[in-house]
Amino acid sequence: MSSVRQHRAVIRIVQITDFHLLAKEHSRMLGVDTQASLEAVLQTVCEFREPPDVFLLTGDLVQDPEPATYRRLHRLLSELPAPVYCLPGNHDDVGLMAEALADGHFIFMQPRIALAGWDIICLNSTIANDPCGHLSDDELDLLDRLLLQIPPENHVLVSFHHSPVLTGSRWLDTMVLDNAGDLFERLERYPNVRGIIMGHVHQHLDVRRGSLRLLACPSTCFQFKPHSRDFALDPLPQGYRWLELHPDGHVETGVERLVAVPSGLDLASGGY
């Protein structure tokens, strides 16, 4: 298990998610060149006054899970100024991610990210060949084991791809985490868990469930229109989320978007 050394009182995290990188370089999905759109987000992130301590990538990193796609993504991520931690989404192939993307030196796939006074637990909520989410018994048992290992004075965030709560979009809510009740029942045993960070929803989400703060952020390519009955794209630019983790357990966070929607976005699309 690697750890991130932290010299500031506040730990800064950047979440980027749902790249949907395609097998053919600069090909388009829903009218968007997903690689160019990702590159634009990465360039904006790197214009911080100071770099974050960790990049957290919350799934659907590729649309076409092939070794070459992940290798190309590795080249794009290798320019970032801080370690990169990845977890899979429903379009990813976990084995290929581990082989072709995670190098164990700068890009990691691991269940625990140990920070100074904080920990992030990364889980796999994917089901093979299914867009829906589920945390297997093994993943839930892993969650328990890690939470028991983490000092109780440390604050914890849990991260996985699928949303454990309804978003208000009927079509998207057919693909939430199907055993969220089991997850929340376990998390209630650990008062040092502060929140959940997820991908999948392609939109800004910041809601409370009891003491937990649930956070999602825009995709790096196209966005899903909130509260829509059927599939619909939102004419908002791509973006990312920043988080500042304070020693007392307080989390400051916000979403940053680029200035314009990706070129070619097909707002009339009925799905993918």
CATH number at residue 69: 3.60.21.10
pLDDT of residue 272: 87
Residue 182 structural domain: 11-257
How far does CA 264 lie from the centroid of its chain? Answer: 25
Residue 263 forms part of a structural domain:
no
Nearest to 59 by CA among 160, 209, 131: 160
pLDDT of residue 122: 98
Nearest to 62 by CA among 43, 35, 82: 35
Count of CA atoms in the C-beta half-sphere (13 A) of 203: 18
What is the count of structural domains for the chain? 1
Residue 110 forms part of a structural domain:
yes
Residue 2 forms part of a structural domain:
no
pLDDT < 70: residue spans in the chain: 1-8, 49
pLDDT of residue 6: 45
Residue 142 forms part of a structural domain:
yes
Residue 4 forms part of a structural domain:
no
Contacting residues for 209 by C-beta, under 8 A, at least 6 apart: 165, 184
Residue 6 forms part of a structural domain:
no
Task: For residue range 129-178, list pLDDT tens digits in order.
Answer: 899 999 999 999 999 999 999 999 999 999 999 999 999 999 999 999 99
Residue 271 forms part of a structural domain:
no
pLDDT of residue 195: 98
pLDDT of residue 138: 98
3-state secondary structure of 85: strand
CB count in 10 Å sphere of residue 157: 24
The model's pTM is: 0.95
